[in-house]
Amino acid sequence: MSKSPEEEHPQKVFGWAARDPSGHLSPFKFSRRANGDDDISMKILFCGMCHTDLHFIKNDFGFTDYPIVPGHEVVGEVTVVGSKVNKFKVGDKVGVGCLVGSCQTCDLCKSDLENYCAGGIQTYGGSLNWDGTKTYGGYSNMLVVHQRYVVRMPENLPLDGAAPLLCAGITVYSPMKYFGLSQPGTHIGVVGLGGLGHVAVKFAKAMGMKVTVISTSPSKEKEAIERLGADSFLVSRNQEQMLAAMGTLDGIIDTVSAVHPLQPLILLLKPNGKLIVVGATEKPFELPIFPLLIGRKLVAGSAIGGIKETQEMIDFAGQHGITADIEVISMDYVNTALERLHKADVKYRFVIDVANTLKPNL
Ligand code: NAP
Ligand code: ZN
């Protein structure tokens, strides 16, 4: 018989978990492996709440293996280093995103694209650790991670505001770089002004690009322009506005968390324009072909980024003072926060103050 989550490893850990698709989170005891030679252990200080947490908690994708401890925007302080750890020392401020393992031998791992490794191990949500046990995420007091999957946090950024960059930040930064949408003067659209979208605007502006936000929420216009620095704002349901902007964008980063029509977005692109979908929706999109053919346009996807690029992104954020706009919450507020996230009622990321509000239940 397999051991309970509390007994399978030597280190006792506590956190909050969902047990079923009702998505209700409550205190949960489990365990983590002993710190290995290549591992660091970290005390978790803050953890961002990504919409992917909500998708998994609610079993939107159909493969959630309960109980699930979410959280993949994790920052904290190194408490233990293994004998082979050369990247970090005790006391360092570090971050862990969506990935805590990969095969380390395939071509993708060798070229710093471990995020696309077929043997990638997610911080939580479906994948198994190297030892075959389940991974549990950052809504918990501590984490044990192989040093390869850990990044160093810039000293000048507040850790709570920087936590969301570990998923939201790299998810928008990586496709901007890969698809050639990071040059000064490039005009990009950002669809969906949520956790991912608002940091996409900040990165794009720091790269010297022109940014148009495309949103379902007219109430976000003033803030998008005045505070986030977007150059223009389109309400996606306003046909007049959308028609007037046809053929103006070099690329689009689409961060919407639900199925939505792609044709109006494709029409916003210039010839050779690229629509990069990063929102994770459980149902397929309808893909109109003629608007793609006419103008040789491209629709592509992208998932987070490799660890080397994640470090590059967070260093760029440090240089440009980029953090997420956050609402810091206590652990016992997470269920309310999830309901509000579902209604897009957050500007723009909830971050859990884990160290000060997660009560031990050992
Ligand atoms: P979020 O904070 O909830 O933001 C999503 C935004 O999408 C909302 O604020 C809203 O913006 C817009 N939106 C929501 N429902 C919509 C609908 N039915 N139609 C049109 N627009 C809608 O979510 P997030 O944390 O940024 O995550 C966004 C998506 O990216 C999620 O699906 C998440 O799972 C996925 N994700 C993917 C990756 C990856 O590696 N590819 C990584 C992280 C997250 P407006 O009010 O401006 O319209
Ligand atoms: Zn995420």
Upstream peptide bond of 136 is cis (omega within 30 degrees of 0):
no
Whether the per-residue pLDDT at 266 is higher than 80: the answer is yes
Whether residues 209 and 289 share a domain: the answer is: yes
Neighbours of 202 (CB within 10 A): 23
Whether residues 218 and 183 share a domain: the answer is: yes
Q: Is residue 40 part of a domain?
A: yes
pLDDT, average across residues 178-182: 98
Radius of gyration of the chain (CA): 20
Residue-range definition of the domain harbouring residue 104: 11-167+325-357
Residue type, 179: F
Number of the ligand 1 atom closest to the C-alpha atom of 51: 25
Q: Is residue 1 part of a domain?
A: no
Whether the per-residue pLDDT at 362 is higher than 60: the answer is no
Whether residues 278 and 343 share a domain: the answer is: no
Whether residues 75 and 85 share a domain: the answer is: yes
Q: Is residue 228 part of a domain?
A: yes
Residue type, 350: F
The 3-state DSSP class for residue 351 equals strand
Whether the per-residue pLDDT at 1 is higher than 70: the answer is no
What's the token pair of residue 360? 């031990």
* β-bridge mates for residue 68, sequence order: 18
Domains in the chain, number:
2
Q: What is the CATH number of the domain that holds 64?
A: 3.90.180.10
Whether the per-residue pLDDT at 286 is higher than 70: the answer is yes
E strand spans, 128-242? 142-146, 151-152, 187-191, 210-215, 232-235
Whether residues 16 and 163 share a domain: the answer is: yes
- Residue with the smallest CA separation from ligand 1 atom 10 is 192
Whether residues 151 and 179 share a domain: the answer is: no
* Terminal CA-CA length for the chain: 23
pLDDT at 128: 82
What's the token pair of residue 346? 């957050």
Ligand 1, pocket residues at CB < 6 Å? 50-52, 55, 167-168, 171, 192-197, 215-217, 220, 255-258, 260, 278-280, 302-304, 341, 344
The ligand minimizing its distance to the Cα of 224 is 1
Whole-model pTM: value is: 0.97
Which residues have CB under 8 Å from 319's CB, separation 6+? Answer: 154
What's the token pair of residue 254? 């689409």
Number of the ligand 1 atom closest to the C-alpha atom of 278: 41
Q: What is the CATH number of the domain that holds 191?
A: 3.40.50.720
Whether residues 291 and 335 share a domain: the answer is: no
Whether residues 251 and 351 share a domain: the answer is: no
* β-bridge mates for residue 122, sequence order: 99
Whether the per-residue pLDDT at 54 is higher than 70: the answer is yes
What's the token pair of residue 78? 């190194």
- Percent residues over pLDDT 70 in the chain: 99
- Residue with the smallest CA separation from ligand 1 atom 11 is 192
pLDDT digits (tens, 9 = 90+) for 202-250: 999 999 999 999 999 999 999 999 999 999 999 999 999 999 999 999 9
What's the token pair of residue 39? 């591992």
Name the average pLDDT for the chain. 96
Whether residues 351 and 244 share a domain: the answer is: no
Ligand 1 binding pocket mutation candidate from 165, 167, 237, 257 (most atoms within 8 A of CB): 257
SS (H, E, C) 65-85: CCCECCCCCEEEEEEEECCCC
Whether residues 89 and 181 share a domain: the answer is: no
Number of the ligand 1 atom closest to the C-alpha atom of 341: 3
Q: Is residue 307 part of a domain?
A: no
pLDDT, average across residues 23-46: 97
**Mean pLDDT lowest for which of 51-60, 137-146, 210-219, 353-362?**
353-362
**Separation of CA 85 and ligand 1 centre (Å):** 36
Which residues have CB under 8 Å from 71's CB, separation 6+? Answer: 15, 47, 48, 49, 53, 123, 124, 137, 138, 139, 140, 352
Q: Is residue 281 part of a domain?
A: yes
Ligand 1 binding pocket mutation candidate from 99, 167, 256, 343 (most atoms within 8 A of CB): 256
If you search the block for the tokens 């979410």, which residue do you land on? 70
pLDDT digits (tens, 9 = 90+) for 64-83: 999 999 999 999 999 999 99
Task: Report the alpha-carbon distance of residue 130 to residue 161 in Å, rounded.
Answer: 31
Whether residues 254 and 292 share a domain: the answer is: yes
What's the token pair of residue 208? 């010297």
- Residue with the smallest CA separation from ligand 1 atom 40 is 303
pLDDT, average across residues 319-339: 98
Whether residues 199 and 127 share a domain: the answer is: no
Number of the ligand 1 atom closest to the C-alpha atom of 115: 40
- Residue with the smallest CA separation from ligand 1 atom 44 is 52
